[in-house]
Amino acid sequence: MNKTVEVLPDQPALVARALELILSKLETAIEQRGRFSIALSGGSTPKPLYEAIANQKLPWDKIHIFWGDERYVPPNHPDSNELMTRRAWLDHVDIPAANIHPVPTLEVNPEVAAAKYEQQLKEFFNSSGAEFPSLDVILLGMGDDAHTASLFPHTEALKVRDRLVTVGNKDGNPRISFTYPFINAANSVIFLVAGANKRPALAQVFAPVADDFTYPSRLIQPQGELWWLLDAAAGLELQH
């Protein structure tokens, strides 16, 4: 794993850097493999980034969109990460509908939904073996409790190592989430973290020793590239 930590002066600079990094990964992936696959995070931090990507002239037919986690709500629910992403980005570009791979959230239960999404991922990557397929980029946020995706502290989802997708739990509310081993199989993992409220969690995630189940973002140790893009409010103490 090669880990890069960049502290940007403010949120607009953070978004600009994230955009630049994603566009460079996109160009390389399309050059080398004819397509680019990215899994998106929810929450508030990435929204301006999604708006910025929507303004780019890109080969949308070669770009495939997944979500690294989703609240278990219908796609028209205000909490839906898919809805936020469509409004900020996907509704404004001519990306083929078949290139958008939303998390199924209208199944009989979250476990069935997780298994269905896992099957869709395996079919997309044509992978049947034990190997975890590699997305080109997985974009992650981090909560002030050091959760990422929907891998919350001290939850069962943190113990799932033999699946691509599992059921997360936030205060009793089910979520669908990539597992940490699947996240770690990505070619590049990019954390986008902003705000002073994230500092205490970042200190624990970056500490030489701390409990992974208390600070789940510590589990993200990809075999590929790991990028931490922080604004100054979040990353001041971490500036190397």
Does 188 sit near ligand 6PG (CB under 6 A)? no
Round to the nearest angstrom and report the end-to-end CA distance of the chain: 18
- Nearest approach in angstroms of CB 127 to ligand 6PG is 24
Torsions phi, psi of 107, nearest 5? -85, 180
Contacts of 188 (CB under 8 A, 6+ apart): 25, 136, 137, 138, 222, 224, 225, 226, 227
Residue among 96 and 200 whose Cβ is closer to ligand 6PG = 200
Does 169 sit near ligand 6PG (CB under 6 A)? no
Stretch that binds ligand 6PG, among 3-11, 145-153, 182-190, 211-219 (CB under 6 A): 145-153
Does 43 sit near ligand 6PG (CB under 6 A)? yes
Residue from 104, 141, 216, 235 in contact with ligand 6PG (CB under 6 A): 141
Site for ligand 6PG in 44-63 (CB under 6 A): 44-45
Residue ranges binding ligand 6PG (CB under 6 A):
41-45, 69, 81, 141-143, 147-149
